[in-house]
Amino acid sequence: MAMFALHTIRIALSGFLRLAVMMLFLLAATPILRGQQQPDLDALASVMASAISNSSRGRFEEAKVLVIDFQDNSRNANKLGAKLADAFSDSLRKNARGFVVMDRAEYLMSFAADKLDPQLYESAETMKCYADHLRATVVVDGNMDVLSDKVVLWVKALRTIDNEKIFDKRISLPLTSDMQPLISLSDADTEIPQAGQHGYSSPKCVYCPIATYSGAAKQAEIQGTVALTLIVDTTGVPNSVKVLRGLPCGLNQRTIDSVRQWRFSPASGPNGSPATVKINVEVTFHLY
């Protein structure tokens, strides 16, 4: 009986050890899975670093590379693009040979709110606004599609002196649990009803002063459209103005300053009473 009990204990201990080893393996594997996108970004940064070094070889001045926020093609207000750009900028700095990667802090303070389409950074007109101010000789931009299980990231590097694209590549990153909170809409106004839906009418603008050009935008000959979302309250006043898609050279701020002066006849709700609603508007800049 004692031998049988001892045999049972040994079996139990053996099973426990196997379980403990399995748990340790899973715990060790979890950070690797969560950080799986980092090796992919590191590899991409290494290849881009070689391309930038080759394109800068033989030039007298050291190339200065700026990584701007990556943009979500769906226009959702999320933080993933900025976080991926931060990580990519750090990886690029580790692989830098013959060039320097600029601190993103100045860009974030000055220009991140511009919310430009990625292709706008490829235009010579836009570069007049950014390259001259930041003294960047290479600008790295990216756009991404967030799918159910992955993020498709398209990263490009543009040399500003001659507007030449020196790098262009797509990669897929697994959509991890750590990334999920960053793609959630961070809009505190998500409970505000959209005008024109579910019985809510659209407010009508009765006083809409036109936004004017900034001196830098006129000099750079910037043209295009600024898209915004507004919260118009029951008195017809826009008390929240946010840029969805913008333009460089200070045109976003010119647009915001103008739209804040707009006045509307308020929308009505399903019961016919004045209602606070969310609307999308576009302001277009043309040079004549």
| pLDDT at position 274 over 90 | yes
* 57 vs 240, residue with greater confidence: 240
Boundary-marking domain end, from 183, 217, 242:
183
Looking at the structure, tell me whether residues 39 and 176 fall in a common domain. Answer: yes
Highest mean pLDDT among 142-146, 158-162, 233-237: 233-237
Is 13 within the bounds of a domain? no
Is 97 within the bounds of a domain? yes
Is 61 within the bounds of a domain? yes
Domain range enclosing 270: 204-285
What is the overall mean pLDDT for the chain? 81
Looking at the structure, tell me whether residues 40 and 175 fall in a common domain. Answer: yes
Q: What is the pTM of this model?
A: 0.63
Looking at the structure, tell me whether residues 243 and 170 fall in a common domain. Answer: no
Is 1 within the bounds of a domain? no
Give the pLDDT band (50/70/90) at residue 76: low
| pLDDT at position 95 over 80 | yes
Q: How many helices (H) and strands (E) does the chain have?
A: 8, 13
C-alpha span between 287 and 249 (Å, rounded): 14
Looking at the structure, tell me whether residues 88 and 213 fall in a common domain. Answer: no
Per residue in 18-47, pLDDT (tens digit) is: 444 444 333 333 333 344 556 789 999 999
Strand positions, DSSP E, 121-223: 138-146, 150-159, 164-174, 204-207
| pLDDT, average across residues 88-93 | 95
CATH number at residue 49: 3.40.50.10610
Instruction: Report how many domains make up the chain.
Output: 2
CATH number at residue 246: 3.30.2420.10
Is 190 within the bounds of a domain? no
Looking at the structure, tell me whether residues 218 and 177 fall in a common domain. Answer: no
**Strands 63-67 and 138-146, bridge-based pairing:** parallel
Looking at the structure, tell me whether residues 56 and 145 fall in a common domain. Answer: yes
* 193 vs 125, residue with greater confidence: 193
Looking at the structure, tell me whether residues 175 and 98 fall in a common domain. Answer: yes
Q: Which pairs from 159-168 meet CB under 8 Å and 24+ separation?
A: 159/55, 160/127, 160/130, 160/131, 160/136, 161/137, 163/122, 163/123, 163/124, 163/127, 164/55, 165/122, 166/51, 166/52, 166/55, 166/138, 167/47, 167/48, 167/51, 167/52, 167/140
